[in-house]
Amino acid sequence: MDRRTLLAGGGTLLVAATLARDAHARFKAAELTHEDSHFMQLAIDQAKEADYPFGAVIIEGARVLALGRNSSKRNADPTAHAEMVAIRAFLSGHEPQDFKHTTLYSSGEPCPMCMGAIIWCGIRRLVYAASIAELATKIGQINITSQQMADATPFADMEIAGGLLSGNAMQLFDKG
Ligand SMILES: [Zn+2]
């Protein structure tokens, strides 16, 4: 399956644009695989059960190590974004250094709070579906991208790719 086939089901792939723009940057756009689509769909499935339609999954290799869904209403906690919930679930069963080889999949590009947490945890790879610019057409967003956050962090060493299955993630905002 080539990349074009892989991405036929969803959204605009940002990898090419990112590579072209940041060819010299140390943040490489992650190579996306069929497994990435599988795990992203798990994140989107989490989003379907969330208070606001955002879901996240943390994996290492082929193993799902933590799931998260936006729980800001049920927890009465405005910081209970999907990525934060997944990070806390991960830490309940793992040590912080175990983040080193993980990938976080998020149905929406992480906000600055979540991206800060992702960077502080040392998560190796981030793959998101809908971009902040896309999300901002449906729900309030802080207009700072995950790439801007990573670029502003001298010690961050991670791969970021966006746009995978973004159409599927955005569809959730159109359901009552
Ligand atoms: Zn967030």
Task: Note the pTM of the prediction, 2 decimals.
Answer: 0.84
**Residue 96 · residue 119 · CB < 8 Å:** no
**Residue 109 · residue 131 · CB < 8 Å:** yes
Q: Say how far apart CA 17 and CA 31 lie, in whole Å.
A: 13
Residues designated catalytic: 83
Judged on CB neighbours under 10 Å (0-12, 13-18, 19+), 29 is: buried
> Mean of the pLDDT values across residues 73-101?
98
Q: Say how far apart CA 10 and CA 131 lie, in whole Å.
A: 13
26 pairs with which residues across the strands? none
> Mean of the pLDDT values across residues 61-71?
97
pLDDT of amino acid 30? 57
Distance 24 CA to ligand 1 centre (A): 28
H helices of the chain, where? 3-6, 15-21, 34-48, 82-91, 112-121, 132-135, 146-151, 166-171
**pLDDT 10s digits, 22-50:** 433 334 555 788 999 999 999 999 999 99
**pLDDT 10s digits, 149-170:** 999 999 999 999 999 999 999 9
Distance 167 CA to ligand 1 centre (A): 19
Q: Say how far apart CA 49 and CA 1 lie, in whole Å.
A: 30
Distance 141 CA to ligand 1 centre (A): 9
pLDDT of amino acid 29? 57
**38: CB partners within 8 A, 6+ apart:** none
Which of 9, 2, 30 shows the shortest CA–CA distance to 127? 30
Percent of the chain clearing pLDDT 90 (strictly above): 80
Q: Is the per-residue pLDDT at 12 higher than 90? A: no
Distance 62 CA to ligand 1 centre (A): 25
**Residue 86 · residue 67 · CB < 8 Å:** yes
Distance 68 CA to ligand 1 centre (A): 11
Phi, psi of 140 (to 5 degrees): -60, 135
Read off the pLDDT band of 176 (50, 70, 90): low
> Mean of the pLDDT values across residues 54-74?
97
**pLDDT 10s digits, 106-126:** 999 999 999 999 999 999 999
Residue position matching structure tokens 């969803």: 10
Q: Which helix (H) or strand (E) covers residue 134, if one does?
A: helix 132-135
Distance 45 CA to ligand 1 centre (A): 17
Percent of the chain clearing pLDDT 70 (strictly above): 82
Q: Is the per-residue pLDDT at 14 higher than 80? A: no
Read off the pLDDT band of 11 (50, 70, 90): very low
- Give the environment of ion ligand 1: residues with CB less than 5 A: 81, 111, 113-114
